[in-house]
Chains A and B, each alone.
Chain A
Amino acid sequence: MSDATSAFSHQRPVNIAFGILIILLYVFLMAPLVMIVGASFTGGLLIDFPPQGLSLKWYFEFFERQDLVDGLLMSLRIGAITAVVTMTVAMMAALAGQAISGRLSGWFQLGMTLPLLVPELLTAVGLLFFLYKIELGKTVVGLQMGHILMSFPYAYVSIAAAMRQVPASLEEASASLGATGWQTFRLVILPLVMPGLAMGGIFAFINSFDLYTISLLLKPLGGNTLPLALFDFLTYEFKPTAAAAATLSILLSILGVAIVQKLVGLQRAF
Chain B
Amino acid sequence: MATVEVRDLRKRYHNFLALDGVSLKAESGQLVTLLGPSGCGKSTTLRCLAGFLEPNGGEITVAGESILSTPANRRGFGVVFQNYALFPHMTVAENIGYGLKLQKVSKSELTSRVNEVMDLVRLDGLSDRLPREISGGQQQRVALARALVLKPKLLLLDEPLANLDARLRDEVRWLIRDLQQQSGITAFYVTHDQSEAMAMSDMVAVMKAGRVAQFATPREIYQKPTERYVADFTGEANFLSCTDVTPQGDGRYAIAVAGTTLELGGVPGIASGAPAELLLRPEALELTMPESGTFRGTVTKSAFLGAALHCEITLPDDSILKLSAEPNTQVTTGDAVGIAIDRSHAWLMPKVAP
Which residues from chain A sit less than 8 Å from chain B, CB to CB?
167, 169-170, 172-180, 183, 187-188, 191-192
B304 at the interface (CB under 8 A from A): no
Task: Give the chain B neighbours of A173 by CB distance below 8 A.
Answer: 79, 81, 85-87, 143, 146
Residues B73 and A176 in contact, CB atoms below 8 Å apart:
yes
Residues A176 and B88 in contact, CB atoms below 8 Å apart:
no
Task: Give the chain B neighbours of A192 by CB distance below 8 A.
Answer: 88-89
Which secondary structure dominates chain A's binding surface? helix
Task: Give the chain B neighbours of A176 by CB distance below 8 A.
Answer: 50-51, 72-73, 75, 77-79, 147
Contact of B50 among A172, A178, A179, A187 (CB under 8 A): A172
B174 at the interface (CB under 8 A from A): no
How many Å lie between the Cα of A183 and that of B101 in the bound state?
11
Residues A179 and B78 in contact, CB atoms below 8 Å apart:
no
Task: Give the chain B neighbours of A177 by CB distance below 8 A.
Answer: 73, 98-99, 102, 146-147, 150
Total of A-B residue pairs, C-beta within 8 Å? 61
How many Å lie between the Cα of A180 and that of B81 in the bound state?
19
Contact digits for B19-60, partner A, Cβ 8 Å, 1 yes 0 no: 000000000000000000000000000000011100000000
Task: Give the chain B neighbours of A191 by CB distance below 8 A.
Answer: 89
Residue of A nearest to B79 (CB): A176
Contact of B150 among A170, A178, A180 (CB under 8 A): A178
B290 at the interface (CB under 8 A from A): no
How many Å lie between the Cα of A188 and that of B231 in the bound state?
44
Task: Give the chain A neighbours of B146 by CB distance below 8 A.
Answer: 173, 177
Residues B73 and A179 in contact, CB atoms below 8 Å apart:
yes
Cβ distance A165 to chain B, nearest Cβ, rounded Å:
10
How many Å lie between the Cα of A180 and that of B76 in the bound state?
13
B241 at the interface (CB under 8 A from A): no
How many Å lie between the Cα of A167 and that of B102 in the bound state?
21
Task: Give the chain B neighbours of A178 by CB distance below 8 A.
Answer: 73-74, 76, 99, 102-103, 150
B83 at the interface (CB under 8 A from A): yes
Cβ distance A7 to chain B, nearest Cβ, rounded Å:
34
Task: Give the chain A neighbours of B88 by CB distance below 8 A.
Answer: 192
Residue of A nearest to B50 (CB): A176
How many Å lie between the Cα of A172 and that of B75 in the bound state?
13
Task: Give the chain B neighbours of A180 by CB distance below 8 A.
Answer: 73
Residue of A nearest to B152 (CB): A176
Task: Give the chain B neighbours of A170 by CB distance below 8 A.
Answer: 85, 87
How many Å lie between the Cα of A177 and that of B90 in the bound state?
15
Cβ distance B29 to chain A, nearest Cβ, rounded Å:
20
Cβ distance A187 to chain B, nearest Cβ, rounded Å:
8
